[in-house]
Chains A and B, each alone.
Chain A
């Protein structure tokens, strides 16, 4: 029999429900992997070992008593450290919130718990979810399990690395501009950013509120469907969540994809794209076609990704995203001032303004400060129309592009990232280069659409390549269905990094 840690989340839950495996046994097995690999990877900010074991034993007792068990009973799940939990700390990988203990649990995490999941720990991330490499963590970087000299992507790098390294069968991340899909691609796992409003944001420490969405990272598409079904749904505590029934994604994904029209947005396959990634994604398109879908070419002019004179990528969407997200961030992070929440400077201060300034200067990292400054600037009177208002107009154009594209296709297939995992430190000196790591993902957030990244291939250098499926609002089921068909047709699933 294969090790318990080789089971998918769905298989593990089934085994526990049937009494073929124990929840405590599973928790111990995963804690052992964490014990073994965490020193190398650095995926976790906090491992909730004692609590996880208690929860697992409770599941085993319930199973023994014949009580009903949820669909994730006994499945260890890691949680990005910007999701509030009424246990442990919620730090956002920031010195600012180093000791923050939330008195409440995020709705999405609560739903996992209700489904029987065992929360095994809080994962590392870029500070306040700002970054694409998990190097911006206040507590040190996470490393890519495929090559520890490389980044896992970000900002949900800890969650992606934890799943890829086999430290848990599934994790939650948050995606503001690609923060689930980009690390999923770089770590060779499945990551879904659901439709904006599909999953409650209550308890997610806000970065860019109009863009943020919580989603799962898993080894395969089935587990992704399983977790999405659990965490999705209307929540009256989040006004922006949408009262719409959650479909049975698990039932939907095994349906044949014959007749579905898959669009290739030509602007996403320009010369700017790494040729190996282009080949991999186009080959995936062929495989999907062979499974019965039709491939059509579509256009997303406003989201185009170009290569400028010096070979760097350029994109309206990136500019638009950094204005909208930074504006919201400057407001969302204003409460961390040394008076209300978070770190307070130990220095003797002259007055309240001095207290604010020193606390924020000492408690926040460089990237966070950069975006706060950018956001405050673009919202200030005199610049609002030129930047923020203009960005909202571009955002509308991007959405219109997608709407038009979905008139001629059912979903889009494109790359998730412009490159495979890059080296630690490679892009930290040049923030603009780092921002381009999300060039294929962030227009999805601006338009509020669902986006799914699944492993497409392994590069010649032995690094995972992800492909991205994008659909109209609430088309998560269709995206998962096509991704599942690809998994089935090619067998590219549940990739394991070399140990």
Chain B
């Protein structure tokens, strides 16, 4: 039944759950923190004890509006809270406070850059705020337990339109969203900590013989890595095409509608969970314990003002304005504070390229060691600018700059003071450098001879002598100047 002329178009939409980086939970003042011992960040409110009432976390609403605005969404003038009922041991009240018909944000657009340099526009249907559930912990000696540390953590659910047509587009959309929410400070978006979870909707539009056939829509639940997302979407595309070829009349959306599947990381396959017959009835209705939210203009404006330049715009600016390569610009726009540091150093008079070299060589290495961003290693704009200027004007060489860079991170001394104290300032006194050169030539007649003869060994010998001089000066000589003098003496 395989037909080489089939045109197979995957139709992919994505629901992304983003845990917001607030100090406290959505409706109580419990700490919002991953990794604490089970049931330590809980209170009567987030565990739904009889008689308690929720109180909205203003910060969570602000962060959600910020994300909505950055996605070009309309932010609702009135938004309310609804109860979504279902029975599950990790859901303390057996209903979840969520938003149903009046989401905080709707109708946005995300421009997603693809590997080939093109961009894909993905429409955003809605982004609503809700409280997270807890977590069932199985395989305990006592059986199954429930950890409610996560119950009540604010969760932003961002729902796209089914605008993606390949694994690559879906993955690029998810990564772009991750960078955006991190950039806005809305979420740490750490996949290992479950800050971001994906639920793709996938089906195929297959054109054969001029007719379009649509396969049943599959929603893959709870994917918590980019790898799983890519694996699940790729598997579904293959599976659905194969299943349709087996049964072109029966395996259709008209006949089978929608089903939920899970993804098994070990096998790379999706498995059936439930079909539409068992679809839930969530019995949504407005939560009578919470009042509706009507953000005033001043509040909305303050949030809009806090957004600033978005990551992709800034990346382009770095390429255009600072003449950075795509790779450099991309590395510096993973999070806002790192780029802010660069901008501040440039504003203080430093050359952008010099700053970027410092940030991406020593800075990047230290950040990697510590598992943090470059902005978090203790770098401040003033010393960064000062060091870049010293480097640019030849006051220090690259080796010395790297040493100074490490020592200035604690902020106790300026780069100039460190250079002076450590004897790292470049020596440009012609007489002194000339003396080191003379000494090096005298001590290495063989090499000096090779340079003079200008044969095959000349280049290597020249480098060797330069190194000897640099060593004698303990790195303080300006290598360019050393080479000039050597050339003059041996040339």
Contact = CB atoms under 8 A, between A and B. Distances in A.
A203 B281 CA distance: 30
A335 B289 contact: no
Contacts of B89: 339-340, 352
B95 A205 contact: no
A206 B284 CA distance: 18
B347 interface: no
Interface in A345-404: 352-353, 356, 376, 379-381, 384, 388
B281 A380 contact: yes
Interface in A234-255: 236-240
Given A103-B44, A202-B51, A340 B281 contact: no
B281 A100 contact: no
Contacts of B291: 239-240
Contact of B94 (A84, A204, A340, A388): A340
A436 B50 CA distance: 28
Contacts of B93: 334-335, 340
Contacts of A331: 83, 85, 95, 283, 285
Interface in A197-214: 201-206, 208-210
B50 A97 contact: yes
Nearest to B86: A334
A202 B52 contact: yes
A476 interface: no
Contacts of B54: 239
* Majority SS at the chain B contact face: loop
Contacts of A327: 285
Interface residues of A, number: 45
Contact of B53 (A208, A239, A352): A239
A104 B47 CA distance: 14
Contacts of A334: 85, 87, 93-95
B48 A210 contact: no
Contacts of A340: 47-48, 89, 92-94
Interface in A74-92: 82-84, 90, 92
B148 to A, nearest CB: 10
Contact of A335 (B94, B281, B283, B290): B94
Interface string A307-329: 00000000000000000000110
A201 B92 contact: no
B285 A379 contact: yes
A239 B94 contact: no
A92 B50 CA distance: 10
B50 to A, nearest CB: 4
B149 to A, nearest CB: 16
Nearest to B84: A331
B56 A205 contact: no
Interface string B301-342: 000000000000000000000000000000000000000000
A201 B44 CA distance: 15
Given A239-B289, A331-B285, A206 B51 contact: yes
A82 B50 CA distance: 9
A210 B283 contact: no
Contacts of A102: 44, 49-51
B155 to A, nearest CB: 19
B49 A341 contact: yes
Contact of A202 (B53, B87, B92, B283): B53
B490 interface: no
Given A335-B93, A381-B281, A238 B87 contact: no
A97 B50 CA distance: 9
Contacts of B284: 379
A106 interface: yes
A237 B50 contact: no
A268 B289 CA distance: 31
A385 to B, nearest CB: 12
B55 interface: yes
Contact of A238 (B47, B53, B94, B95): B53
B283 A379 contact: yes
A381 B50 CA distance: 27
Given A327-B285, A335-B50, A239 B95 contact: no
Nearest to A212: B288
A203 B51 contact: yes
Interface string B280-299: 01011100111100000000
A236 B55 contact: yes
A330 B85 CA distance: 10
B50 A209 contact: no
B50 A380 contact: no
A337 interface: yes
A208 B87 CA distance: 20
B51 A376 contact: no
Given A104-B44, A334-B85, A335-B93, A209 B52 contact: no
Contact of B288 (A97, A209, A336, A352): A209
Given A236-B55, A356-B87, A341 B50 contact: yes
A237 B92 contact: no
A121 B257 CA distance: 58
Contact of B51 (A84, A240, A379): A84
Contacts of A103: 44, 49
A331 B281 CA distance: 13
Nearest to A328: B288
B60 to A, nearest CB: 14
B472 to A, nearest CB: 72
A205 B285 contact: no
A205 B51 contact: yes
B433 to A, nearest CB: 72
Contacts of A201: 53
A205 B93 CA distance: 13
B178 to A, nearest CB: 33
Nearest to B146: A339
Contacts of A204: 51
A382 to B, nearest CB: 8
Contacts of A356: 87
B195 to A, nearest CB: 26
A209 B289 contact: yes
A240 B289 contact: yes
Contacts of B288: 208-210, 240, 328
B55 A239 contact: yes
A210 B80 CA distance: 14
Nearest to B280: A381
B87 A100 contact: no
Interface string A86-115: 000010100001001011101000000000
B164 to A, nearest CB: 29
Given A206-B289, A335-B92, A339-B89, 16 more contacts: A82-B51, A92-B50, A104-B51, A104-B52, A205-B51, A238-B55, A240-B290, A240-B291, A331-B85, A335-B48, A340-B92, A340-B94, A341-B48, A341-B49, A356-B87, A380-B283
18 contacts: A92-B50, A103-B44, A205-B51, A206-B289, A238-B53, A238-B55, A239-B56, A327-B285, A328-B285, A331-B85, A331-B283, A334-B87, A335-B48, A335-B50, A339-B89, A340-B94, A379-B283, A380-B281
Interface of B: 44, 47-56, 83, 85, 87, 89, 92-95, 281, 283-285, 288-291
9 closest A-B pairs (Cβ-Cβ)? A334-B94, A210-B288, A209-B288, A379-B283, A84-B51, A205-B50, A205-B51, A203-B51, A335-B93
Interface of A: 82-84, 90, 92, 97, 100, 102-104, 106, 201-206, 208-210, 236-240, 327-328, 330-331, 334-337, 339-341, 352-353, 356, 376, 379-381, 384, 388
